[in-house]
């Protein structure tokens, strides 16, 4: 009789562990709609100044 009690306890522990894992897996997917990405504040890098030196370097490297 004790053999069945041990098997039942092991099976119950395994089922509990599986239930916890199954509940934790979809948590990040379900949490995504909670956070809204567009709040109106967009941080952008400043635009780089174009000096035109790239063409000069390209021409000088082709001649040399």
What is the full per-residue pLDDT of the chain (64 aa) written as tens digits?
555 667 888 899 999 999 999 988 888 777 776 666 666 666 777 777 776 666 666 666 766 5
pTM over 0.75: no
As a whole number of angstroms, the distance between CA 64 and CA 56 comes to 12
Hey, where are the domains in the chain? 1-37
Question: For the chain, percent helix, then strand, then coil, each to nearest 5?
Answer: 65, 0, 35
């Amino acid at each position: 009789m004790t053999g069945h009690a041990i098997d039942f306890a092991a099976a119950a522990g395994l089922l509990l562990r599986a239930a916890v894992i199954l509940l934790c897996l979809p948590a990040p997917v379900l949490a995504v709609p909670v956070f809204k990405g567009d709040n109106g504040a967009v941080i952008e890098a400043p635009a780089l100044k174009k000096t035109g030196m790239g063409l000069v370097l390209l021409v000088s490297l082709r001649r040399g």
